[in-house]
Structure 1
Amino acid sequence: MGMDVDLFKGIVGSFATGVTVVTASHGDNRQGMTVSSFASISLDPLLVMVSLRPSKETPQLITTSGRFAVNMLAAEQQAISNRFAYGDPEDLFDDVPLLHDDPPVIAGTIGYFVCRLVDTHEGGDHVLYMGEPIEGEMFEGSPLMYWRGSYR
């Protein structure tokens, strides 16, 4: 007998995380999604990981293009987080300032990585996307945090 799903979600939600928007593009198609399951994996070689539901459009673009960006949101970017979590996929990038287009890099963040897709691993109802950072930048500011179902 396994752990109760609601208890599991409550315990996981007790762990404060930063908030990212993972973006990808291929041709004229750009997509992104809000993701809190981001981690650095290795320093040699440099590797990061995001955990995504494969049924969404963003993971499909990552697989097709072989690249993705991890945008680490600043404290004042809660509206951007909500847009990429709940917004219409056709309008996600409307009025969102970008530093780069391919893959989309959001302006005003505390940092970003552009990654080359290295590997994927199935993990239940999610897929782990491992990427090698090939570009990135760090900016001043405080991170947008998520804890127990609320932004901090």
Structure 2
Amino acid sequence: MNTDDLSSAARRHRDGDRDRVSGELFRRVMGVVCTPVSVVTTCADARPYGTTVSAFSALSLEPPMVLVALDRGSSLLSVLRRTRRFGLNVLSADQGDLATRFARKGADKFEGVRWRNDSELPRLAGVTGWLACEVTRFVDGGDHLVAMGSVVSADCQDAAPLTYHRRGYGTHRVLTASR
């Protein structure tokens, strides 16, 4: 690590009576974390909605639950608050174009995209994982709102996942065989 990295890592700012990590440093640290890329979908008034997320996680095995974090300004979030149902489409390694498409603002995200109705939610074609969820709770998460979802349907394919790392898409590969 060079001295620029050290001084950058030490950057903090005052917030009231406590020190906090700067947003710049936090983004930099989170940039080295490899995260799965998914598109969260819902349907309202016979129209599909979706947005790309990298902040989702398994929450519980019994009962099966996941959580997704959505920006408070997300148009999908406003619809999800009404529908209280969402699909989690875990993208496969060759679906970077879909991740980019659904990350944009706008109403035409589904135009030309192959998808089907699964459990009354939009399921994108070719995804490596699929979960249909019912929102059990919304939790405050700073500039995001966390939707906790109870899984009501699931499916997966044998395909490498799309991941996000250092502002770019990639995938995962096993380095050594586990026993």
Q: TM-score of the superposition, structure 2-length normalised?
A: 0.81
* Residue correspondence of structure 1 range 123-142 to structure 2 within 5 A: 123-142=141-160
**SS in structure 2 at match of 1:2:** strand
- Show structure 1 runs of 4+ deviating over 6 A: none
**SS in structure 1 at match of 2:20:** coil
Aligned to 1:144: 162
Q: Distance in 2 between matches of 1:90 and 1:119?
A: 26
Superimposed CA distance per residue, residues 63-104 of structure 1 (whole angstroms, 9 cap, x where no aligned partner)? 101100000000110110000012x52211011111316321
* Residue correspondence of structure 1 range 50-89 to structure 2 within 5 A: 50-86=68-104, 88-89=105-106
* Count of matched residue positions in the alignment of Structure 1 and Structure 2: 151
The answer to whether the 8 Å contact 1:31/1:89 transfers is no
Q: Do residues 33 (structure 1) and 51 (structure 2) align? A: yes
Identity %: 32
Larger radius of gyration: 2
Structure 2 unmatched runs, 5+:
1-18, 171-179
Aligned to 1:13: 31
Amino acid paired to 1:35: V
Amino acid paired to 1:107: A
Q: Distance in 2 between matches of 1:115 and 1:41?
A: 12
Q: Distance in 2 between matches of 1:92 and 1:73?
A: 15
Which is worse superposed, 52-61 or 122-131?
A: 52-61
Aligned to 1:93: 110
Structure 1 unmatched runs, 5+:
none
Aligned to 1:114: 132
Q: Distance in 1 between matches of 2:112 and 2:151?
A: 27
Superimposed CA distance per residue, residues 97-127 of structure 1 (whole angstroms, 9 cap, x where no aligned partner)? 1131632110100011010110010111000
Superimposed CA distance per residue, residues 24-75 of structure 1 (whole angstroms, 9 cap, x where no aligned partner)? 1111332111000010001112110000012211111111011000000001
